[in-house]
Amino acid sequence: MEEHLEIIKHLSNGINPLTGEMFEDEHICHNEEITSALMISIKSLENEIKKLERKNNLPKNAGNPWSNEEDANLILKFDNGNSIKELSEILARTEGSIQSRLARHGKLNI
């Protein structure tokens, strides 16, 4: 996607992405509507790249449903003094998810 983004950025700037040469003034990429469409595409691709980067940085269990076993393990480890951060690492969940789950079980007031 990043390669595609660079190609579209070149086109929006009136540059041939293959050669690096400027397009002639009458080239379609200098058309206002085309430039506008390319700019919208650039923003869209940039947003998608950010989403993918965020998703790739989330713990492996983020967004997955909680099993009864995970809930029991969470409560046991919390009652034994594990911190939110430690629980997040152990259960491969976000800290926000850990806090929400503990609140659901009456272990935290958030």
pLDDT tens across the length of the chain (110 residues): 899 999 999 999 999 999 999 999 999 999 999 999 999 999 999 999 999 998 899 999 999 999 999 999 999 999 999 999 999 999 999 999 999 999 999 999 87
Q: How many of the other CB atoms lie within 10 Å of CB of 97?
A: 22
CB-facing half-sphere around the CA of 45: CA atoms within 13 A:
15
Query: pTM to 2 decimals?
Result: 0.60
Q: Are 29 and 35 in contact (CB under 8 A)?
A: yes
Q: Which residue has the tokens 């950010």?
A: 50
The phi, psi pair for 34, rounded to 5°, reads -65, -45
Q: Are 89 and 96 in contact (CB under 8 A)?
A: no
